[in-house]
C-alpha cells in the first residue's frame, strides 16, 4: 500500500488540484499534528496535507506530545490507533484531561475494522475515525472540513480579545436573528454602526497601544450605557455594531447622541500630552424598512455612518 501512495506522479497532480483552495483561502494554513509510529506512512500523509496548503508536524513518540501541542498549537490531531508504547485512545485520554484541548478535534487513523474496538476508542475522547487505507483526496477533505468547522465555531463563540465584545461573525448573526424577531413581533429595533473619527491619526501620533486604549474606552462606554438586552460587537478594527431590540428611532438617536457627546469629553493621555477623540454613528430602524434583513440594515446603518463622516464627523445620522 505504501508503494502506491508514494508514486511520484500523485503530488504534482494533487498540488494543481488543490492550489485553488490556497488562492481562495486567505486564512492562515490549517495546522495538523500526526501521531503515528509508521514513519513512512506518516510522511506520506504529511506530504498530502502539505500539498493542500496545510502546516503539518509529525510525532512518532508520545513523549513530546504536550510540548508539540503547546508549541505547534494544532487545530486537528490525526492519531494512529495502534502504536507500540501508547495506544491512540490512551493519548486521546491524556489530551482530553487538559481543559485547553477539550474541544481540539482528534481523529483516529486506523485499519481497525472491529466495531467494538472503534466504539471504545471513540469513548476515550476521539471525535472520529478514518479508515486506512485512505485516498489522498478523502484525507484532505476530511481534515479540511473539520478544521473549517472548528474555526467557524471559534469565531462564533469566542469574544474579541481586546474588548471582550462579540466578534464580527457573532454580532452579524445575532443582528439577523433580532431583526427577524422585530419584524415578526412588529416591534422596532435599531441597528447601529459606530466608527472612531480620524483614528489613523491617533495611531500615528500616539502609537498603537494608545490607539487600543481608545478602542477599549469606546467598548466600555457602550457597555455602560446599553441595556442588558442589547447586543454589542466589535465589527472591525475601530468599528462597532450594535442592535437595540424594542427601541425606536427617537430613543436610539437620543441614546447614541448622548454616548457620542460623552465620548468627546473623555481625556486620553500619552506621555505628557493629552488628547480627545470623537466617534461618528449611523442608525437604521427596522420599522422604516419592513422587508430588510439584518445584513440590509447593517448596510443602511453604514450608509448613515458614511453621511455622518461626510458632514464633518462627531455626528449621529439616521
* Active site residues per annotation: 238
Q: Which is nearer to ligand GH3, 195 or 230 (CB)?
A: 195
Q: Which is nearer to Mg ion, 200 or 227 (CB)?
A: 200
**Partner whose footprint covers residue 302, from Mg ion, ligand GH3, none (CB < 5 to 8 Å by kind):** none
Dihedral sign, CA of 7, 8, 12, 13?
Answer: negative
Q: Which is nearer to Mg ion, 41 or 52 (CB)?
A: 41
Q: Which is nearer to Mg ion, 72 or 199 (CB)?
A: 199
Q: Are 111 and 131 in contact, with CB atoms under 8 Å apart? A: yes
Q: Binding string to Mg ion for residues 173 to 212, with x set by CB under 5 A, is what?
A: ----------------------xx--x-------------
Which residues 6+ apart lie within 8 Å of 113 measured at CB? 131
Q: Which is nearer to ligand GH3, 181 or 313 (CB)?
A: 313
Put residue 125 in one of left, alpha, beta given phi > 0 → left and psi -120 to 50 → alpha: left
Q: Is 23 helix (H, G, I), strand (E, B) or coil?
A: helix
Grid-cell match 447593517, residue found: 298
Q: Cα separation of 1 and 308, whole Å?
A: 66
Task: Give the cell for residue 70.
Answer: 503547546
Q: Which is nearer to ligand GH3, 108 or 240 (CB)?
A: 240
Q: Binding string to Mg ion for residues 36 to 65, with x set by CB under 5 A, is what?
A: -x----------------------------
**Of 193, 215, 217, 221, the residue nearest 202 (C-alpha):** 215
82: contact with Mg ion by CB under 5 A: yes
The residue number with the shortest CB distance to ligand GH3 is: 237
309: contact with Mg ion by CB under 5 A: no
Q: Cα separation of 229 and 220, whole Å?
A: 16
CB of 277 to Mg ion, least distance (A): 10
How many other CB atoms are there within 10 angstroms of residue 156's CB atom?
Answer: 14
CB of 24 to ligand GH3, least distance (A): 25
Give the N- to C-terminal CA distance of the chain in Å, as an integer: 66
**Partner whose footprint covers residue 313, from ligand GH3, Mg ion, none (CB < 5 to 8 Å by kind):** ligand GH3
Q: Binding string to Mg ion for residues 136 to 165, with x set by CB under 5 A, is what?
A: ------------------------------
Binding site for ligand GH3 (CB under 6 A): 195-200, 203, 208, 211-212, 215, 237-238, 309, 313
Q: What is the dihedral of CA 254, 259, 260, 264, to 10 degrees?
A: 140
Q: Which stretch binds Mg ion (CB under 5 A): 10-18, 77-85, 221-229, 262-270?
A: 77-85
What phi and psi, each to the nearest 5 degrees, are found at residue 175? -60, -40
Task: Give the cell for residue 150.
Answer: 472548528
**Partner whose footprint covers residue 203, from ligand GH3, Mg ion, none (CB < 5 to 8 Å by kind):** ligand GH3
306: contact with Mg ion by CB under 5 A: no
Q: Cα separation of 293 and 181, whole Å?
A: 11
Footprint of Mg ion (CB under 5 A)? 37, 80, 82, 195-196, 199, 239
Amino acid at each position: 500500500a505504501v508503494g502506491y501512495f508514494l508514486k511520484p506522479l500523485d503530488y504534482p497532480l494533487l498540488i494543481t488540484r488543490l492550489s485553488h483552495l490556497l488562492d481562495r483561502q486567505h486564512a492562515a494554513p490549517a495546522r495538523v499534528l500526526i501521531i503515528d509510529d509508521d514513519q513512512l506512512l506518516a510522511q506520506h500523509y504529511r506530504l498530502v496535507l502539505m500539498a493542500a496548503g496545510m502546516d503539518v508536524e509529525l510525532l512518532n513518540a508520545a513523549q513530546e506530545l504536550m510540548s508539540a501541542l503547546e508549541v505547534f498549537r494544532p487545530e486537528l490531531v490525526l492519531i494512529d490507533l495502534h502504536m507500540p508504547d501508547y495506544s491512540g485512545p490512551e493519548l486521546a485520554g491524556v489530551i482530553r484531561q487538559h481543559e485547553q484541548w477539550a474541544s481540539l478535534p482528534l481523529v483516529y487513523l486506523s485499519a481497525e475494522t472491529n466495531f467494538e474496538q472503534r466504539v471504545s476508542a471513540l469513548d476515550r475522547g476521539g471525535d472520529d475515525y478514518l479508515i486506512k487505507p485512505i485516498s489522498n483526496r478523502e484525507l484532505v477533505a476530511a481534515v479540511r472540513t473539520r478544521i473549517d468547522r472548528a474555526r467557524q465555531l471559534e469565531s462564533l463563540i469566542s469574544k474579541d480579545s481586546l474588548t471582550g465584545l462579540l466578534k464580527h461573525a457573532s454580532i452579524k448573526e445575532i443582528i439577523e436573528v433580532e431583526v427577524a424577531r422585530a419584524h415578526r413581533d412588529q416591534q422596532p429595533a435599531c441597528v447601529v454602526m459606530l466608527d472612531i473619527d480620524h483614528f489613523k491619526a491617533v495611531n500615528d501620533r500616539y502609537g498603537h497601544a494608545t490607539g487600543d486604549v481608545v478602542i477599549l474606552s469606546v467598548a466600555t462606554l457602550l457597555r455602560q450605557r446599553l441595556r442588558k438586552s442589547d447586543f454589542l460587537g466589535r465589527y472591525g478594527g475601530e468599528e462597532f455594531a450594535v442592535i437595540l431590540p424594542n427601541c425606536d428611532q427617537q430613543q436610539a438617536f437620543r441614546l447614541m447622541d448622548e454616548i457620542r457627546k460623552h465620548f468627546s469629553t473623555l481625556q486620553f493621555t500619552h506621555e505628557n500630552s493629552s488628547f480627545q477623540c470623537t466617534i461618528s454613528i449611523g442608525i437604521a430602524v427596522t420599522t422604516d424598512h419592513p422587508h430588510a434583513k439584518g445584513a440590509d440594515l447593517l448596510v443602511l446603518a453604514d450608509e448613515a455612518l458614511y453621511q455622518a463622516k461626510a458632514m464633518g464627523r462627531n455626528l449621529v445620522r439616521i
